[in-house]
Amino acid sequence: MEQPLMLYNTLTHSKEEFKPLHPPFVGMYVCGPTVYGEPHLGHARPAIVFDLLFRYLKHLGYKVRYVRNITDVGHLEHDADSGEDKIAKKARIEQLEPMEVAQYYMDAYHDAMDKLQVQRPSIEPRASGHIMEQIQMVQEILDKGYAYVSEGSVYFDVPKFDAEHGYGKLSGRVLEELFANTRTLDGQEEKRHPADFALWKKAAPEHIMRWPSPWSVGFPGWHIECTAMSTKYLGKTFDIPPGGIDLMFPHHESEICQSRIANDCTSARYWVHNNMITINGKKMGKSLGNFITLNEFFNGTNDLLEQAYSPMTIRFFILQAHYRSTLDFSNEALQSAQKGLERLMQAYHNLQGLKAAATSTVSVGDCYQRCTDAMNDDLNAAMVIAELFELSRHINAAKDGKESLSQADIDLCRKTFDTFAFQILGLTDEASETPHAEVINGLMDMVLEVRQHAKAQKDWTTSDQIRDKLQSLGIAVKDGKDGATWEWRQ
Amino acid sequence: MEQPLMLYNTLTHSKEEFKPLHPPFVGMYVCGPTVYGEPHLGHARPAIVFDLLFRYLKHLGYKVRYVRNITDVGHLEHDADSGEDKIAKKARIEQLEPMEVAQYYMDAYHDAMDKLQVQRPSIEPRASGHIMEQIQMVQEILDKGYAYVSEGSVYFDVPKFDAEHGYGKLSGRVLEELFANTRTLDGQEEKRHPADFALWKKAAPEHIMRWPSPWSVGFPGWHIECTAMSTKYLGKTFDIPPGGIDLMFPHHESEICQSRIANDCTSARYWVHNNMITINGKKMGKSLGNFITLNEFFNGTNDLLEQAYSPMTIRFFILQAHYRSTLDFSNEALQSAQKGLERLMQAYHNLQGLKAAATSTVSVGDCYQRCTDAMNDDLNAAMVIAELFELSRHINAAKDGKESLSQADIDLCRKTFDTFAFQILGLTDEASETPHAEVINGLMDMVLEVRQHAKAQKDWTTSDQIRDKLQSLGIAVKDGKDGATWEWRQ
């Protein structure tokens, strides 16, 4: 019997069968990047994990509306309700209009995501483009008595929410503990309770990003944007609001509060959270000196990196771990991912030229079904990759003549690779996707033929010269019983 | 003496010296695409022409803030104040949320612009993201008595503006003539005068894109977005609002009215308009059956096209005509542009291997200065290209040993190409930019050496076989006095 898709729901601490609200439609809302710096590893993991989810839901036949916003206003330093707006601060430093900064880093984010083969969302709304919707929602929360105005700012009344609806269901945070742990930050004195969070902030005179509102000229709090935009584009309740585990508190918890009051309902059903990334065992951070941008990975231009790592290596590495596990980046781990990915792509390449035998001497079993089962089990891409490695072993053995595969098994292997490696995991064969792959293949045929001819004449000097020259071009020649083959050197 | 940059100003019907308001800063606002369909030639010309202007201003040392908006709301069919919103209509047809349609075509537009080497603007604001600013500006115009509310919509009072400020200065349109020529369109009966244009439109019940306002739940008129967004990001008066000549009336004329009243000043100083594109002598249009998207050009997938034309061929073709001339697309013209571009790139390639002589036998003169003069004369890129062709002729003659060039002249040629062909015209050598150009060059060295060897042995069979095989891979071999060279077949 076909297993249904099970997703781990942070809200219930258990894997639940995924049943969309309005099949065949699925609504997904991801809190996207705050565009004030170069895209880095911390952007890559959630984007790739939710791309996996997006692709798999489409594979299952759902029509997915995937909304991923751009936070270009309202995200203050310290992720709290004080400090300077992250984008405005960068603008002040660089003497630019804040929207110029947002545009630059938004473009950089898009470029990096394209390289990582992250499919584009259906709608990418910008927080600054939905100020009216946010003001309207703040007004609704005020009208319902769950917020108050203080010195021109508006705060959500967390104790009142807690008493009537229970606060902290997602993160497990208890209000009394929050109270004890909160630092006294600038602006906090305006709040009735330290756990209260800003829905609207009055702008200080030097704050350049500002809009009029019934309460003050100011800007929206960080949390309200996602509730306002998800309501606008997906409705009051939608299916999946995936996000990094760092967003669970306070961001997602605040969204739950806002939505419960403004929309009188639960905002979302399946709270899917990916775990964190560490670098050599430590949290990544600019202040920790271990911050690596995606472009630095792609170009190898960071002292922490021994080499460049291609976008597909990064993607493959991220997919090799389950999304709910922490993931540690190191040169060794990335080099191992690079080799693994090349092994898979080489096996797929070998599969194309494989001659079918009458019967198979190895059992590939129902590899397609096993991959499906793995994906249905809370998106276990790591297990899918293990299956693909196992298939690669059989394919390579068949290519070397040590085993044989029937036509049916060859077809099944191909279907499994096409569906899972390429379509769902979203991997690409970077080497074969160059615009001139055909030309290179043609030229290599000619060069290898010349070398074969030289060898037949026992002209070892020429044949060695050709091999060396190819080596210097990054091409490795392998002599086999049916003649020579070549591959890109690893 | 250095000539200053002269730009043709539609407002004064003359070339004027360009003097920015606040040097070294320059503000440029381009009315960008209405994102409801595939990007086509009509998008390519203004984008490339204003990219030329953007690049040249930066070359002159200006710090340019280039704002190009996305029209994702308010642009009604017929470019008039009635009919259905273009994006909402497409959404209804495809059963999508309007913003899903806008996102899809915005992404497609960005992809096409990237391929055409159009540099990205500094800020790309979306009309739907600036509803508040537009409402605020409409209110200012109402407060100053130059607009009126009618059935929940707000219209600009053109006769009043005309009486006090004079209407039609940009386009030369006279109010009485407009009156005579205006068709009676749906919604027109709400207006006091047929030339009045909408600042805000009340939404019909079936209209899905809608926002609250003091006058009705509705959406902004098309013209107000550009005035609101240019004011926000560039100030009340800025330097250049370039656009297609089709935008001059009514769009730019309306902007002038809005800005004069809301901001009490002239909105912009240099009105630069590019001329239209025709296809085989006819206006391009979906209803005329000669509509070709940019992707169709790139892939050759349109019955009107005899072949595919690369993005650089399209770019080169557009730059070969002066931006104020009409430009007619035909297969012949594009094929000729393709050959011309290849000739330039081949000459640049030849230049790299050129050996300097003690003296030059031809005069390249001060080609760099002549290119500068051409650009300063109202962006005469066509003249720059003619200069580059002339240089190519000398370079190729020098390569063939028919003429010679001194080191100083070689350096000047290189500087002229680097600055004008690549940096300012924004051309790229598509053939040499493949990721594996080095590998292909290396393999070709080996193959041509084998062929040379065969020829030396008078083994014509082998040498012909190699030539034919290369031909099938799209590579042409040319035998010269210093051995064979190769190039991509044209």
pLDDT of residue B432: 67
Which of A103, A439, A473 lies nearest to residue B442, judging by beta carbons? A473
A435 chain-B contacts, CB cut-off 8 A: 434-435
- The answer to whether position A387 is within a domain reads yes
Selected residue of A66, A94, A120, A122 to mutate for chain B interface (largest B Cβ count, 10 A):
A122
> Do A240 and A155 share a domain, yes or no?
yes
Chain B contact set for A129 (CB, 8 A): 126, 128-130
Q: Is residue A104 part of a domain?
A: yes
Phi, psi of B14 (to 5 degrees): -155, 160
CB contact under 8 A, B99 and A233: yes
For residue B482, the model assigns a pLDDT of 67
* Distance from C-alpha of B51 to C-alpha of A263, rounded to nearest angstrom: 46
B242, B274, B306 — which closes off a domain?
B274
Binned at pLDDT 50, 70 and 90, residue B481 comes out as low
Q: Are residues A390 and A451 in the same domain?
A: no
- Indicate if B58 and B124 belong to the same structural domain: yes
Within 13 A of A171's CA, how many CA atoms are on the CB side?
A: 21
Mean pLDDT of A400-419: 95
Looking at the complex, does the CB of residue A95 fall below 8 Å from at least one CB of chain B? no
- Interface contact A121-B129, CB threshold 8 A: no
Please tell me the predicted confidence (pLDDT) of residue A129: 96
Q: Does the beta-carbon distance from A126 to B130 stay under 8 Å?
A: no
Q: Is A184 on the interface with B (CB under 8 A)?
A: no
Question: Predicted ipTM?
Answer: 0.84
Report, as an integer, the average pLDDT of A75-81: 59
Does A15 share its domain with A121? yes
Q: Is A450 on the interface with B (CB under 8 A)?
A: yes
pLDDT digits (tens, 9 = 90+) for B135-168: 999 999 999 999 999 999 999 999 999 999 999 9
Burial of A352 (0-12, 13-18, 19+ CB in 10 A): exposed
* In a shared domain, residues B204 and B113: yes
pLDDT reported for residue B382: 97
If asked whether residues A12 and A159 sit together in one domain, one would say yes
Q: Does residue A279 form part of some domain?
A: no
Nearest to B124 among A103, A440, A472 (CB): A103
With cut-offs at 50, 70 and 90, classify the pLDDT of residue B225.
very high
Closest chain A residue to B435, measured at CA: A434
The alpha carbon of B439 is separated from its chain's Cα centroid by a whole number of angstroms, namely 34
Which B residues 453-482 touch A at CB under 8 Å? Answer: 466, 469, 472-475
CATH number at B193 reads 3.40.50.620
Q: What percent of chain B has pLDDT over 70?
A: 92
Residue A183: pLDDT over 50: no
Pick the residue with more confidence: B461 or A324? A324
Query: Can you give the pLDDT at residue A336?
Result: 97
Same domain, B439 and B427: no
Shortest Cα distance, chain B CAs vs residue A440, angstroms: 7
Number of domains in chain A: 3
Domain end, chosen from B383, B404, B431, is at B431
**Does residue A242 sit in the same domain as residue A142?**
yes
Query: Which of the four pLDDT bands, split at 50, 70 and 90, describes residue A179?
Result: low
Q: Are residues B241 and B188 in the same domain?
A: yes
Summarised one tens digit per residue, pLDDT across range B280-300 is 888 887 777 788 999 999 988
Residues of A with CB below 8 A from B130's CB? 129
Mean pLDDT of B112-134: 96
Q: Which residue of B has its CA nearest to A69?
A: B103
- CA of A51, closest CA in chain B: separation in Å? 17
pLDDT at B309: 94
Strand partners, B377: B6
Residues B352, B468, single domain; the answer is: no
pLDDT tens for A118-165 read 999 999 999 999 999 999 999 999 999 999 999 999 999 999 999 999
Q: Is residue B57 included in any domain, yes or no?
A: yes
Residues A309/A300, Cβ–Cβ less than 8 Å: yes
The verdict on residue B120 lying in a domain is: yes
Half-sphere exposure in the Cβ direction for A160 (13 Å, CA): 16
A22 pLDDT more than 50: yes
Name the pTM for this structure: 0.86
Q: A337 and A215, same structural domain?
A: no
pLDDT at B183: 47
Cα(first)–Cα(last) distance of chain A, in Å?
42
Same-domain pairing of A374 and A448 = no
Could you write out the three-class secondary structure of A316-379?
HHHHCCCCCCCEEECHHHHHHHHHHHHHHHHHHHHHHCCCCECCCCCCCCCHHHHHHHHHHECC
Q: What is the pLDDT of residues B40-88, one digit of tens each?
A: 988 999 999 999 999 999 999 999 999 999 999 866 655 556 667 777 7
Q: Cβ neighbours of residue B46 under 8 Å, at least 6 residues apart?
A: B30, B242, B243, B244, B274
Mean pLDDT of chain A: 90
pLDDT score for A92:
62
Question: Which tens digit of pLDDT belongs to each residue from A350-386?
Answer: 998 899 999 999 888 899 999 999 999 999 999 999 9
Return the pLDDT at B21. Answer: 93
Residue of chain B whose alpha carbon sits nearest to that of A132:
B132
Angle at which helices B381-399 and B407-416 pack, to 10 degrees?
140
Domain that includes residue A134, residue range: 6-274
A126/chain B closest Cα distance in angstroms: 8
pLDDT band of B184, cuts 50, 70, 90: very low
Residues of chain A contacting B132 with CB distance shorter than 8 Å: 131-132, 211-212
- Please tell me the predicted confidence (pLDDT) of residue B485: 79
Model confidence band, residue B180 (pLDDT cutoffs 50, 70, 90) = low
pLDDT value of residue B78: 53
Q: What is the pLDDT of residue A184?
A: 47
* A107 to chain B: closest CA residue: B120
Residue A1 has pLDDT above 60, yes or no: no
Per the domain annotation, does A416 fall within a domain? yes
